[in-house]
Each structure stands twice: as C-alpha cells, then as structure tokens.
Amino acid sequence: MNSLLGALAWLGDPVNWTGERGIPVRLLEHLGITSAAVLVAAVIAVSLGLYIGHTGRLSFLVVSTTGALRALPTLGLLVLFALWLGVGIGPVILVLVILAIPPLLAGAYAGVESVDRGTIDAARAMGMTEWQILTRVEIPLGLPIIVGGLRSAVLQVVATATIAAYLPIGGLGRYIFDYLPLRRFEPVFAGAILVTLLALVLEGVFAALQRLTVPKGVRILQGSPAARGGSGRARVELASGSPAATAHAQGASGPPQRRSDSVSAENSTSLPTQ
C-alpha cells in the first residue's frame, strides 16, 4: 500500500491540478487511449481472425488465445510492462491491446465462420477470387458479429483504460487515482461516474452500429421467415415501412414493385419478353 501511496503522492503534484487537466481534456485522453489500443488490437486480431475464418487454418489459436489472454491480470501486467519498458504510454497501450485482442479475434473469426458454406461455395464456383470472397461475401455477411467483437473490446478497454492513470498517463482514471490518497472522495466518485457513463454511451453507439451492419437482404431473411416462401405477408411488412425498409430507402421497393406479388411473378413466363 505504501508504494502505491508513493506513486500517488507524485501524482498529487499541483501541475496536474490546473485547468487543462479538466474533464474535457481527461475525456479526450481517455478516448484517445481507448481508440489507440483498440485500433492496434484490431489491426492484429481482426486480420488474424479473418484469415483463420476464411482458411480454417490455425483455428486452435482462437480458442487458446481467447482463454489464455483473458486470464491475465491487467494491472499486474501493466506493472510488469512498466518495469520492462519504463513508465509511459507504451505499457498502457500494450496491456489494453492484449485485453482487446480476444474479443476482436473471436468476433472476426466467428463472423466469417457464420457465413453459410453454400453461399461461399457458390461465390467461388462463379469465379470470385479468395480475396473477393472475403471482402464481398464473408465480411459483409459476417459484419454484425465482427462489430459485436469490436463492441465488446471497446467496452472492456474503455473501462480498463482507467488504469492508465496508474502509471501515470492521462484519462478519467486520473480523478480516481489522483484524489483517492487525498481522501477527497468527491473527485474519485466523479471519475468513476464519468467512466461508467462513457462506457454506457459507447455501448449504445456500438449496439446501434451492430444493428446497422446487418445487410438488408439478411434482415428480411431473419425478420420474416415467411418471406422465404414468397408469401404476400412478407411484402406487406416491408412495404408498411418497417425500420429495415426505411433505413435503406435506396434499396426499398417502390410502389410498382409492391404491387407485383410473387404468384403473378412466378407465372410471368407468359408475359411477352423484350
């Protein structure tokens, strides 16, 4: 406890109390640390997850890393890295990257893995290259799950980024770590509340983003199983302005298409062909 108090005592330097250490600056610092860590982790884990999902190779990595990396104590790791690399932003980003890798890796892998094998087979059979299969079929269809991994990573990192203040780097954790030893609990609580609010806002943003990334054709498939059989009901649901239909106005069917129902279309062979 004494070493902690010592580090915090250093943090109690009046320089850190000035106006430019105010909430907006701390918030931006917190977001900056979070996005830097998630970005670095995404470059590593999403590319690896996409590769594993597409090729089916190295899939043991997903199971082992997600399990093992999650078991690591973040604060202990931070101290270790700080002793090794020296105090600075480096160790913070490093531990947060390690924290963010498992959900990102699992999300990217599971996203690609979730795509129907028949769809991929058809894409290959019609002459898509492996890269085109990945970018035009697997990523668009797996995106909701990939974004789900991102959502989970952001949530964990934004909450844990508080420990950046431990080293001491910026971020909202500074209010907690700076004021706790002074037994000034007001700023400590304020810091905790700010971190919680930020996490909740980001959670909401990413939940919405995740919903938006469901391709329209897939949403129809999931939303109304009846649509598969081409019944009129599915069309009515669509035409009546469901969120799916309104969100993608450019793809939504216009009035003439709404009128043509599947039964007449199925028999349209009798129509003169141009």
Partner 1 sequence: MITFDGVSKRFPDGSLAVDDFSLTIPSRTTTVLVGSSGSGKTTLLRMINRMVDPTSGRILIDDEDVAGLDPVKLRRRIGYVMQNSGLLPHRTVIDNVATVPILEGVKKSEAHARALELLDTVGLDRGLAKRYPAQLSGGQQQRVGVARGLAVDPNILLMDEPFGAVDPLVRDELQQELLRIQRDLSKTVVFVTHDIDEAFLLGDQVVILRTGGVIAQAGTPAEILANPIDEFVASFVGADRGKRSLHVDPAHTSGERGERVLVDGGGRAVGILRDEAPAPRSPGAVAP
Site of interaction with partner 1 (CB under 8 A): 116, 118-119, 121-129, 132, 136-137, 140-141, 215-218, 220-221, 227-230, 234-235, 238, 251, 253-254, 256-257, 260, 262-271, 273-274
d(CA 98, CA 78): 11
Q: How many CB atoms lie within 10 A of CB 103?
A: 25
d(CA 20, CA 26): 9
Q: How many CB atoms lie within 10 A of CB 233?
A: 11
Q: Report the residue number, 59 or 260, with the smaller CB distance to partner 1.
A: 260
Q: Report the residue number, 64 or 260, with the smaller CB distance to partner 1.
A: 260
Query: CB 95 → partner 1: shortest distance, Å?
Result: 37
Q: Report the residue number, 75 or 221, with the smaller CB distance to partner 1.
A: 221
Q: Report the residue number, 1 or 125, with the smaller CB distance to partner 1.
A: 125
Query: CB 124 → partner 1: shortest distance, Å?
Result: 7
CB 69 within 8 A of CB 132: no
- Could you give phi then psi for residue 247, rounded to 5 degrees? -65, -30
Q: Report the residue number, 32 or 215, with the smaller CB distance to partner 1.
A: 215
Q: Report the residue number, 184 or 211, with the smaller CB distance to partner 1.
A: 211
Query: CB 271 → partner 1: shortest distance, Å?
Result: 7
Identify the CA nearest to 149 among candidates 94, 209, 115, 102.
102
Query: CB 274 → partner 1: shortest distance, Å?
Result: 6
Query: CB 257 → partner 1: shortest distance, Å?
Result: 5
